[in-house]
Amino acid sequence: METHQQQKRDQQIHYKQIGQYQLIKEIGNGQFARVYYTRSVDPENTQEYAIKTFQINRLKPENQDQIDKEINILLKLNHPNIIKFYEYKKTQNNVYLIFEYCELGDLENYMKKYHDGRFPISFAQKVMNQISKAFKEVRRLKIVHRDLKLANILINKDLIVKLSDFGFAKHFEENILLQSYCGTPITMAPEILKRQQYNEKCDIWSLGVILYQMIFGKLPFQPPKGANIIDLINIIDKGKVQFDNLALIPQDVIELIEKMLDVNVQKRMSFQEFFEYPWINVKESVEEIKTKQNKALRFVQKYIFQSLREDITKFKKFLNETKVIIQNITNDQDNSFAKNCAWASLLILLLKTVKNMQNGLELVLFTNEETYEYIKAPFPKEIQDSLKEECKEIGKNIEKIECDNTELQKNSDAYNMLFICLLHYADFQLINEYLKGFDFLSKTRCIFKYI
């Protein structure tokens, strides 16, 4: 999440270009790396990217080796629920890793920003289902992640979850134990915290912590402020995971978390059990998905668009009545301010709507607000065409907009009509663009909402 200082710095700094990639703004940073939102300089390439940059002179030899290993693993991974890695570039001073861009950021910030710090159980289920699919690929390639946390799971605008940050990942053969101490302590398996040997089940533990966080909005083992690793180990060793609001949590979810957060590695759930667990392994047939979408689309067509057509009819009636009033005003050739003002009010009434229509405005209907399932439907063409024609017709009546703001004109009927239109329909940026001469507009911020 961007800070005010970071936003201010982005406005002041002109970020450089890396090959075909133009760095736009910084969206994250860590001990050794910075991440930038990036677009291609090729106008035909509308793809958005995230570039992770490392300054070579700030890296220790082991850090450089870690980056090389991460690149090697990323090149092998190709799955819809794993962050897509496009390429890497290396210069004398920097290393650049180019990834797909996830508009909604990481799950930690997304959960705080849009869900008040915790997900509905049904949404957490959708997330874990997608993570399990990613891990089927991770396990197929015999990789252990070792740094799983909400901040290392990204989400895009279509609510597709992407496993990311393979900086501590390692190829791992079955029946061989690992002993490197790495990861984030708060989500780290107890055997790693104790610097014991461990296997792929360390990732199961971390996923259990993530699932608990998503549902309860807190960590299952929360050390007090100022606590150290030993304190965290003691808290975990003491005991059992506590569940709030037990009556509201399905029993199979409680059992799943308990099995994933078993301190005893031998008893802890395996990945195969994780993949096959009914609550996670939710399958919805293609026919069921299509049936849901068809029902939603029929609802849109029958109710939403029909209502919209009726509103458009009323809207056009209003336009016609207003045109008559304006024509009567413009018969008075001496009142050029009123004439221009009146026609401008109608143009402003349509500007934002038509602009959105031309940009392919879509209606988004949530079929399930709890799980954020939705269907998109483009506005009917006849509605778009109707508004475009109205805009063209009114535009012909406006050659230029000039005004001399006197107290007398401020009290005119045309001025009042314009102000009312602005208040209800106008878009602040469009007002600035089309009516820069009006001083009072600098204090007016309105958003046009047709539906």
Q: Are residues 266 and 123 in the same domain?
A: yes
Condensed to tens digits (0 to 9), the pLDDT of residues 110-141 reads 999 888 888 888 889 989 999 999 999 999 99
Q: Are residues 315 and 438 in the same domain?
A: yes
Instruction: Mark which of 100, 119, 148 sits at the end of a domain.
Output: 100
Q: Are residues 314 and 258 in the same domain?
A: no
Instruction: Mark which of 72, 100, 128 sits at the end of a domain.
Output: 100
- Residue 263 within any structural domain of the chain: yes
> Kindly report the CA angle at 394 between 393 and 398, in degrees rounded to 5?
120
- Residue 449 within any structural domain of the chain: no
Spatial CA neighbour of 121 closest among 9, 208, 215, 255:
215
Residue 262 DSSP code: -
User: 443 among the known binding-site residues?
Assistant: no
Per-residue CA distances from 293 to 143, 283, 288, 370, 409 (Å): 37, 16, 9, 17, 54
Q: Are residues 176 and 221 in the same domain?
A: yes
Residue-by-residue DSSP string for 390-442: HHHHHHTT-S-------HHHHTSHHHHHHHHHHHHH--HHHHHHH-TT-GGGG
Active site residues: 147
pLDDT at 92: 87
Say how far apart CA 451 and CA 383 lie, in whole Å: 13
Q: Are residues 79 and 112 in the same domain?
A: no
Q: Are residues 383 and 331 in the same domain?
A: yes
Residue 186 DSSP code: G
User: Residue 310's domain spans which residues?
Assistant: 286-443
Q: Are residues 123 and 18 in the same domain?
A: no
Residues of the chain with pLDDT under 50: 1, 8, 10-13, 285, 333, 352-361, 365-373, 398-451
The number of domains in the chain is 3
What burial class does residue 340 get, using C-beta atoms within 10 Å of its C-beta: 0-12 exposed, 13-18 middle, 19+ buried? Answer: buried
- Residue 424 within any structural domain of the chain: yes
Q: Are residues 124 and 94 in the same domain?
A: no
Spatial CA neighbour of 101 closest among 159, 19, 22, 156:
156
Q: Are residues 244 and 152 in the same domain?
A: yes
Residue 106 DSSP code: B
Q: Are residues 88 and 121 in the same domain?
A: no
Instruction: Mark which of 100, 126, 160 sits at the end of a domain.
Output: 100
Say how far apart CA 123 and CA 107 lie, in whole Å: 12
- Residue 281 within any structural domain of the chain: no
- Residue 228 within any structural domain of the chain: yes
For residue 271, give the CATH number of its domain: 1.10.510.10
- Residue 451 within any structural domain of the chain: no
Q: Are residues 268 and 398 in the same domain?
A: no
Q: Are residues 300 and 369 in the same domain?
A: yes
Quote the crossing angle between the two packed helices 381-395 and 336-358, to the nearest 10°.
Answer: 150
Say how far apart CA 127 and CA 108 lie, in whole Å: 13
pLDDT at 428: 37
pLDDT at 62: 84
Tokens of 400: 């230029």
pLDDT at 254: 93
For residue 30, give the CATH number of its domain: 3.30.200.20
Residue 269 DSSP code: P
Condensed to tens digits (0 to 9), the pLDDT of residues 268-278 reads 999 999 999 99
- Residue 448 within any structural domain of the chain: no
- Residue 450 within any structural domain of the chain: no
pLDDT at 436: 40
